[in-house]
Amino acid sequence: MRRIVLFALLCAVMGVSCGKKDDAVVLRDWNFGGKPRMIEWLRQRVDQFERSHPGVRIEQSQKSWNMIRELLYADYSVGLGPDVVNVHANYAAEFGGAGYYYPLNRFPDFREVSGWYVPHLLESTRYREDYYGLPCSGIAFVLVCNKDLFDKEGISPPRTWSEFREAARRLTKDTDGDGTVDQYGLVLLGGDKGGFAYRLAPFFLKAGAEILSDDLKTVRFNSPRGVAALRLLADMYQVDHSVTPGFLAYTLTEVNDLFCSDKVAMSIEGPWFRGMVDDKSPGKKIYTVPVPVPDDRIADYDTAPTLQDMVMYSINARTKYPERAWEFIKYLRNEEADMAWIREDLGALATTRRALESPEAKALADLPVYMNELRHARPWPAHPCMIAIASDIFAPYTEKAIVGELTPQAALDQAAREAQEMIDEKK
């Protein structure tokens, strides 16, 4: 009797486990970064997609931006990697050019889909003739000012470099009278090389300096205008002492903490910053203005380019199901989905024309500034080595110049030499 019961139980267990055979197509999706609310929104969207596409199941995993390149390279180089991934748009050159991403313009309805997006945002997903992603969140780097500190000092957000330097000097002070400076004009994010390069580049671009030549063959950031941009920050650190002395150790967390506790007055940030400040210090008021221009370029204040960054959704070139992956990323990034980026602060800007031109968009505090900056902004040059050059060469040398280990000219010349070698080697 006992044997019969055991046999019946075994059959029941096997029946249950075999009966749940899953014939669905499984797509692996890696999501890098994002605010908690954005991640929650994404999960809801994925659930909706699975409900409306019963034959497709999404296996989603959340990853950190800090690990993005090593995770992607480690997987792609052995022929693995997720079917769908969100990455920086400038990865189109590095990963798209290396054949890791599927050219989206091969899909028959690409032309129709591309019409959803603001044209210059879509363009930054292009490398040579192919488009490697659907725009996800637009980012322009701007100057964020602590309104309370500016108002207390009776000054307006700076427009030129002289005003910027003067504002930083005036806002650097000993507020409690103990003989030590406890409030600084400017904070720089120096503990994350990539993040530092992204915050320094806007000064170069606003000054009219180029990063690479148009044909992407020659390094140009050590031009006199580039040197002037770097000298501005070096002088603010070494001469005016208006930059936080410990900036080389700061990550975004420290920058946010200092800003929210009124220890710094200005920082170079993007659309994520208002939400971060709100989370930590609800109701805190900020000015969001363009990064200042050199005094002789004040006429171009509204049109001088800042650095544009963007996140895009890409499809693995080796996926078994490109059509399903295409359906999935269209669902995540269509005009209806994009409205979520207008209705809530998800840490970046919407990218579709319909969302950005909607009546709800008019109510967004910083949108006019960001839209104007994005219209003129430039992404990092579309060279496969650009991310490595920015993080591993440009950032460390410019940090050395700011703290005075090298002169701005020597630092940029040395960085340009190494970057040029990298580019020539790639050729």
Partner 1 sequence: MKKYTPYLLLAPALLFTGFILIYPVVQNLINSFRDVSLVRPGGGWTGVLNYERVFSDPVFWLAFRNTVIYALAGTVLALIVGLLLALVLDTNTGKMCSAAACLYSIPWVISPVVAGFAWKWLLNDHFGVLNYWLSSIGIVRNGTSWLGDPRLALVCVMAARAWQFYPFAMVMFLAGLQSIPGEQYEAASVDGATALRKFFYITLPNLRPVSSVLLLLGVIWSFNDFTMVFVMTRGGPINASMVLPVLVREFSFVHFDLGKGSALSIVIFAMLFTLSYLYLRMLTRRERL
> What are the residues binding partner 1 (CB under 8 A)?
69-70, 73-74, 77, 94, 98, 178, 180-182, 190-191, 244-250, 254, 257-258, 261, 263, 388, 391-392, 396, 399-400, 403, 405, 426
d(CA 409, CA 222): 7
The one-letter amino acid code at 302 reads: D
Q: How far is the CB of 94 from partner 1 (least distance, A)?
A: 8
Query: Is the CB of 192 or the CB of 345 nearer to partner 1?
Result: 192
Query: Is the CB of 224 or the CB of 404 nearer to partner 1?
Result: 404
Query: Is the CB of 69 or the CB of 324 nearer to partner 1?
Result: 69
Q: How far is the CB of 206 from partner 1 (least distance, A)?
A: 25
Query: Is the CB of 266 or the CB of 355 nearer to partner 1?
Result: 266
Q: How far is the CB of 157 from partner 1 (least distance, A)?
A: 23
User: Could you tell me which residues come within 8 angstroms of residue 156 by beta carbon, excluding any fewer than 6 positions away?
Assistant: 150
Q: How far is the CB of 426 from partner 1 (least distance, A)?
A: 8
Which 8-state DSSP code applies to residue 317?
T
Q: How far is the CB of 85 from partner 1 (least distance, A)?
A: 16
Q: How far is the CB of 52 from partner 1 (least distance, A)?
A: 38
User: Could you tell me which residues come within 8 angstroms of residue 316 by beta carbon, excluding any fewer than 6 positions away?
Assistant: 76, 81, 82, 83, 84, 85, 100, 101, 102, 325
Residue written as token pair 């192919």? 130
Query: Is the CB of 11 or the CB of 74 nearer to partner 1?
Result: 74
Query: Is the CB of 44 or the CB of 77 nearer to partner 1?
Result: 77
Q: How far is the CB of 360 from partner 1 (least distance, A)?
A: 38
Residue written as token pair 């960054």? 309
Q: Are 332 and 313 in contact (CB under 8 A)?
A: yes
Q: How far is the CB of 407 from partner 1 (least distance, A)?
A: 15
d(CA 51, CA 160): 53
Query: Is the CB of 120 or the CB of 241 nearer to partner 1?
Result: 241
Q: How far is CA 239 from the centre of its chain?
A: 31
**Beta-strand pair 286-289/142-146:** antiparallel
Query: Is the CB of 130 or the CB of 257 nearer to partner 1?
Result: 257
Q: How far is the CB of 328 from partner 1 (least distance, A)?
A: 27
Listed in order, strand segments (DSSP E) in 67-215 are 84-88, 126-127, 130-131, 134-140, 142-146, 184-187
Strand arrangement of the beta sheet that strand 286-289 belongs to = 184-187, 264-269, 142-146, 286-289
SS3 160: strand
Query: Is the CB of 118 or the CB of 415 nearer to partner 1?
Result: 415
Q: How far is the CB of 168 from partner 1 (least distance, A)?
A: 16
d(CA 216, CA 423): 9
User: Could you tell me which residues come within 8 angstroms of residue 117 by beta carbon, excluding any fewer than 6 positions away?
Assistant: 134, 135, 351, 352, 353
Structure token pair of residue 346: 């998800």
User: Could you tell me which residues come within 8 angstroms of residue 155 by beta carbon, excluding any fewer than 6 positions away?
Assistant: 167, 170, 171
Query: Is the CB of 263 or the CB of 324 nearer to partner 1?
Result: 263
